[in-house]
């Protein structure tokens, strides 16, 4: 169920990302790289929207795979890969226009710290598209019993709020009670 929803959730998250000229986009915890591919396509489709996509992952294997798979956009300077955890992003304050992070928070021990870091790197008019499987449905999956931190969606929304991010939209992607949750968050007004 989670795998079937992943592609649709990534596509929904990417479609929520506004693209402007010179956009700086990030896929944090990019895994297999579908989000990187779709973000690069979004930049290509936007007239004159030359920009850059950053891929951040903690896995050296994922970095190596993406380096091989995306050699051309890397050589062109359109894609930059970084090995880092979500709690220590390699960006200056306010440098990212939009960020995706899907299926990552299960592995983050300190969710508020991770979201504070996301807020730090996000432009004041930026957007975060955060995706997670339905916690109830995931609790029934054998794979989720192996080190996943399943949190109620309300807890995730509260942690975003504490970090200075406000959930602007909460979408369900997929069908039934196990539909994927996609949270679109923006910086809280100051």
**All domains in the chain, ordered by first residue:** 2-151+179-187 (3.40.50.150)
Answer whether 29's CB lies under 8 Å from 86's CB.
yes
What beta strand segments (E) does the chain contain? 24-28, 52-57, 79-83, 96-102, 122-132, 165-173, 180-187
Q: Residue 47 pLDDT > 70, yes or no?
A: no
- The answer to whether the CB of 111 falls within 8 A of the CB of 104 is no
State which of 17-21, 43-47, 140-144, 165-169 shows the largest mean pLDDT. 165-169
Q: What tokens were used for 6?
A: 């992943």
- At 1 the pLDDT is 37
C-beta atoms surrounding 176 within 10 Å:
9
pLDDT, one tens digit per residue, over 134-181 is 888 888 888 777 778 889 999 999 999 999 999 999 999 988 878 899
Q: Supply 46's token pair.
A: 């936007």
Q: pTM of the predicted model, to two decimals? A: 0.93
Q: Please check whether residue 133 is in contact with residue 103, taking contact to mean a CB–CB distance below 8 angstroms.
A: yes
């Amino acid at each position: 169920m989670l795998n079937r929803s992943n592609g649709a959730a990534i596509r929904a998250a990417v479609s929520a990302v506004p693209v402007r000229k010179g956009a700086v986009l990030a896929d944090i915890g990019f895994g297999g790289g579908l989000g990187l591919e779709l973000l690069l396509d979004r930049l290509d489709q936007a007239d004159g929207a030359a920009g850059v996509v950053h891929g951040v992952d903690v896995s050296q294997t994922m970095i190596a795979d993406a380096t091989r798979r995306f050699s051309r956009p890397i050589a062109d300077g359109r894609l930059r890969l970084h090995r880092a955890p979500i709690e220590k992003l390699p960006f200056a304050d306010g440098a990212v226009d939009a960020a995706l992070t899907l299926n990552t928070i299960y592995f983050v021990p300190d969710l508020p710290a991770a979201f504070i870091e996301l807020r730090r790197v996000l432009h004041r008019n930026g957007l975060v598209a955060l995706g997670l499987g339905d916690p109830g449905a995931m609790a029934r999956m054998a794979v989720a019993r192996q080190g996943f931190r399943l949190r109620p969606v309300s807890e995730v929304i509260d942690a975003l709020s504490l970090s200075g991010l406000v959930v602007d939209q909460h979408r369900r992607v997929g069908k039934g009670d196990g539909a994927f949750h996609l949270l679109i968050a923006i910086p809280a007004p100051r």
